[in-house]
Amino acid sequence: MLTRDILEPYTEILMKHDLFEGIPAEALPNLLNALGAEIKRYAAGQNIMRMGRAPIVTGIILAGAIEVSFLNENADQIDMNIFEAGKSFGETMEGADLSESRMFVKAIQDAVILRLQFRRLYEKPACEDPHLWRFTLNMLRRISAKGIFYQHKIRIMGQKSIRAKLSVYLQEAPRDADGAVQRDMNQTQLARYLGVERSALSREMSHLREEGAIDYDRKTVWVRDEDFLAL
């Protein structure tokens, strides 16, 4: 059972997650215990969830980072994303009440995961707890946001050229005032996310820099020509 003392090191990061919007910190222990929550630790490289197998793990990353991926029809690994502390995963599959996972999840750094059992919400004929009710509404919003993310991913994978894939990727990426996109993936991870070879991606990005469309370093991409995003 999770207590306030156990949760104390992670309370700040949990309260920033949109699943707990509108829920006071003092309500966390009772709410999380009602959802069968537990804190699990995974070493870097350890599998958290395997494609085609049970159980489905739904969790919030309290520390470290994970990689979420799947295999396409050619058995090539396609990265969906890299998730770091403060992000969540697995809620769409558990929300759909699937019996086995449709993606791979592994720790790429030593990770601490708050595992949740969203299925417990289905077992309640009515919800009299206002905090649990608010959590349910927040989860619906979260699943809707994930649906938008997957639509974006499908758009990327539907592009035929690396240039077009990169353009679609940058269209949705948050940018600051000078057009900078902070990279949360290294070049290898980005190539896998886009479904292309790393060397081919590096060549195309180099061409785009020579053309003045973008500039970049290891941590940032700057969009210099807005027409590039209109591809």
Read off the pLDDT of residues 140-150 as tens digits, 9 standing for 90 and up: 888 777 778 77
Residue 75, pLDDT above cutoff 70: no
Q: Which pLDDT band, with edges at 50, 70 and 90, does 117 fall under?
A: confident
Fold of the domain spanning 162-230: Arc Repressor Mutant, subunit A (1.10.10)
Write down the pLDDT at residue 145: 79
Chain region(s) in the chain for CATH 2.60.120.10: 4-157
Q: Is the whole model's pTM more than 0.75, yes or no?
A: no
The CATH number corresponding to 4-157 among 2.60.120.10, 1.10.3720.10, 3.40.50.2300, 3.40.190.10 equals 2.60.120.10
Nearest-angstrom CA–CA distance, 116 and 99: 16
Q: According to the model, what pLDDT value does residue 111 have?
A: 97
Pinpoint the residues of the chain covered by CATH 1.10.10.10.
162-230
Provide the pLDDT for residue 110: 97
Residue 62 has pLDDT above 90, yes or no: yes
**Residue 2 pLDDT class (50, 70, 90 cuts):** very high
Question: 85 near 65, Cβ under 8 Å?
Answer: yes
pLDDT of residue 126 exceeding 70: no
Is 88 within 8 Å of 61 (Cβ atoms)?
yes
